[in-house]
A and B are shown apart, each in its own frame.
Chain A
Amino acid sequence: MADQQVVERPTEEQIIAPGYSFASVTDQIAAVVLTKHTPKFWFAAFSAALGLLFLFLLAVGQLLVYGVGVWGLRTPVFWGWAITNFVWWIGIGHAGTLISAILLLLNQRWRNSINRFAEAMTLFAVACAGMFPILHLGRPWLMYWLFPYPNTMGIEPNFRSPLVWDVFAVSTYATVSALFWFVGLIPDLATLRDRAKPRILKVAYGILSLGWRGSARHWSVYETASLLLAGLATPLVLSVHTVVSFDFTIGIVPGWHSTFFPPYFVAGAIYSGFAMVLALAIPLRQVYGLQGLITDKHLDNAAKVMMATGLIVGYSYIMEAFAAWYGGNTYEMAAIAHRMFGPYKVYYWILISCNVIAPNALWFKGIRRNSALLFVWSLIVLVGMWLERFVIIVSSLAQDNLPGSWRLFHATRWDVFTFLGTIGLFTFLFFLFIRALPMISIFEVRTLLPQSRVKEEVQG
């Protein structure tokens, strides 16, 4: 016991600034929500997001009226930006689940300060991701056909298709993430209910907090539920992106048909997800003055995870080329050669710079501890990971097994508008979240305080 304390103490001091008390933690986090004075930058960011959201509605309207041809989808590239964006967004979500579920089970206490907004990020990223396969359907209003329900056609979806597995993977992921997020919010909602002054807020937070009184029985049930949900969410971190990678690997398109795609995609997902966590955490803690709660240690840890997964992704690129050469399949080799030296070589080498070369800078503590540089690095990674999916999808499809049908993909402005639009949707939801709900888990951060250590007698 004594040995453990010696090991634990230094890290604890770094994941929460000294001088916080139970009350000041609650005060600082709750004040962001309960203040009557919404900060100016909030309005600025929110209106920018709202503008992009309207752009999204315009792009979707155009799509619904004129069909998927408004995007640059032409034979043989029918996946284009839509599926690129889908994989990019769903990958981003994975970091939130990793932080909230896997790091909880691994007892990584530093997660307590970032899990709330990371989970919100997951939810909103999944919402954006889910848009794309549905909009891409051609007749999006018939999307319920994807589910096996007793229909008048007397048929079921084709369960041998990985696209149907996607439906279940993503909808399960969205459900479990939403439940986990909400259950984790309940004690904090009760705190807000007790602190809110206007009656309407009391009632609203009161309904959402489901009658939480903080009794020992409540906490016991809460801890059980939270552990069970973490157990449910943990396999999802690995399974969802594995299923997403099956969309490619099950197809016999050269450059897709590989067994190492699942681990490669999962690593890429966590890589881009941590980049998004950093891209959100760094400006947020700056503008709300939360450096004491989201410390440099958090950024350092997240950057380390980002670098580790980035190295796995880099290794995967090498293996991809190696497997194509070692497999001796002409088409596979041609696909890789097209990627590296063909019409998409610019995108390929930019993505290699972003995903393989750039993360190596994170070996240096100086960069990991410099939040402005780290913010730039996270954006580089986000760009790199988007390009990775674009190159995998488009370069393989544009030059597939049939040279007669080869054609390059050219994105239209509606491709761009739809993508920017989902960034708007994400930002819109995220800013609503930080205004209406505590973006950092109050009660979990309180457990990080040295005062929360209860002296227990060592048994036997």
Chain B
Amino acid sequence: MSQIFHHTANYIAKMSLVLLAALLLFAGWVMDRGSRSDFVTRAEMVREQPVPFSHAHHVGGMGLDCRYCHTSVEKSSFANIPPTKICMNCHSQIWLTSPTLEPVRASFRDNTSIRWTRVHDLPDFVYFNHSIHVAKGVGCETCHGRVDKMALTWQQNSLQMEWCLNCHRNPERYVRPREFITTMGYQPAGDQEEIGRKLVAEYHIQNPRTLTSCNTCHR
């Protein structure tokens, strides 16, 4: 009876096991990296807007406080997309003829809203409240990044649940004194963990067990 297989078959069979294991590991690595990639989270991706509004110019250059436009961030769950009237506070005086700003003037004339594209869109099953975060010393920059350097706005962080939990599990690593809430490029005056622990006590930030309870965010 002739041989069915070539004499290399044993070698191929054994190597195929190694290859299979390597392939599975590689597939796992690809999926792990992929699920956290900017491609999936849409982080660091500039969204197209009806008017190319520059936070870099208004915040970094002019020094406007975040709350000048995002008026309700301290009081409401929603930080507020500013109404056209806030734009027109200044733009009724300056850049009057700029063609770039025509949609803003049109919005003011026709009394219709500008349809901005939402940059930070959390899933609907997440209950998120800006005011509590601001009140407990989470700076704008902590989640939104260096907005003062963004010529066009992008989402700085992944907004994935593990990212939320980083802070909910260890708030002392991220909180800052309330007077620096809107500061861009904040540097803690000393050891962050030490200051953070004091602030956690002072602001009565709940223990991580409560902060990571399912119904804290999924209500």
Residue positions of A touching B, CB distance < 8 A: 150-155, 193-194, 199, 202-203, 206-207, 210-211
> CA A152 – CA B164 in complex, angstroms?
10
> CA A207 – CA B5 in complex, angstroms?
9
Known: A152-B36, A152-B160, A210-B13. A193 touches B4 (CB 8 A): yes
Which 10 residue pairs are nearest across A and B when measured between Cβ atoms?
A154-B162, A153-B161, A154-B165, A152-B160, A206-B4, A202-B4, A152-B35, A152-B162, A154-B161, A152-B36
Residues in B neighbouring A154, C-beta threshold 8 A: 160-166
> CA A376 – CA B5 in complex, angstroms?
48
Nearest Cβ on chain B to A209's Cβ, whole angstroms: 10
Residues in B neighbouring A203, C-beta threshold 8 A: 4-5
Residues in A neighbouring B164, C-beta threshold 8 A: 154
Q: Does B32 belong to the interface (CB within 8 Å)?
A: yes
Residues in A neighbouring B129, C-beta threshold 8 A: none
Is the Cβ of B165 less than 8 Å from the Cβ of A155? yes
Residues in A neighbouring B162, C-beta threshold 8 A: 151-154
Nearest Cβ on chain A to B132's Cβ, whole angstroms: 20
Contact digits for B33-60, partner A, Cβ 8 Å, 1 yes 0 no? 0011000000000000000000000000
Residue positions of B touching A, CB distance < 8 A: 1, 4-5, 9-10, 13, 32, 35-36, 158, 160-166
Is the Cβ of B160 less than 8 Å from the Cβ of A153? yes
Nearest Cβ on chain B to A141's Cβ, whole angstroms: 15
Given A151-B162, A152-B162, A153-B161, 8 more A-B residue pairs with CB atoms under 8 Å apart are A151-B35, A153-B162, A154-B163, A154-B164, A154-B166, A206-B5, A211-B5, A211-B13
Is the Cβ of B161 less than 8 Å from the Cβ of A211? no
> CA A262 – CA B166 in complex, angstroms?
41
Nearest Cβ on chain A to B8's Cβ, whole angstroms: 12
Residues in B neighbouring A152, C-beta threshold 8 A: 35-36, 158, 160-162
Nearest Cβ on chain B to A76's Cβ, whole angstroms: 21
Q: Can you name the residue of chain A whose Cβ is closest to the Cβ of B28?
A: A149
Interface centre among A152, A202, A211 (most CB of B within 10 A): A152
Residues in B neighbouring A211, C-beta threshold 8 A: 5, 9-10, 13
7 examples of A-B residue contacts, CB within 8 angstroms = A151-B162, A152-B35, A154-B161, A154-B165, A155-B161, A199-B4, A211-B13
Residues in B neighbouring A155, C-beta threshold 8 A: 161, 165
Is the Cβ of A150 less than 8 Å from the Cβ of B32? yes
Interface centre among B4, B13, B163 (most CB of A within 10 A): B4
Residues in A neighbouring B13, C-beta threshold 8 A: 207, 210-211
Nearest Cβ on chain A to B162's Cβ, whole angstroms: 3
Q: Can you name the residue of chain B whose Cβ is closest to the Cβ of A203?
A: B4
Nearest Cβ on chain A to B71's Cβ, whole angstroms: 33
Nearest Cβ on chain B to A357's Cβ, whole angstroms: 48
> CA A215 – CA B13 in complex, angstroms?
19
Q: Can you name the residue of chain B whose Cβ is closest to the Cβ of A153?
A: B161
Nearest Cβ on chain B to A213's Cβ, whole angstroms: 11
Nearest Cβ on chain B to A178's Cβ, whole angstroms: 16
> CA A60 – CA B65 in complex, angstroms?
55
> CA A150 – CA B1 in complex, angstroms?
52
Residues in A neighbouring B4, C-beta threshold 8 A: 193, 199, 202-203, 206
Q: Can you name the residue of chain A whose Cβ is closest to the Cβ of B1?
A: A194
> CA A193 – CA B1 in complex, angstroms?
12
Q: Can you name the residue of chain B whose Cβ is closest to the Cβ of A211?
A: B10
Residues in B neighbouring A202, C-beta threshold 8 A: 4
Nearest Cβ on chain B to A197's Cβ, whole angstroms: 12
Nearest Cβ on chain B to A233's Cβ, whole angstroms: 23
> CA A202 – CA B162 in complex, angstroms?
52
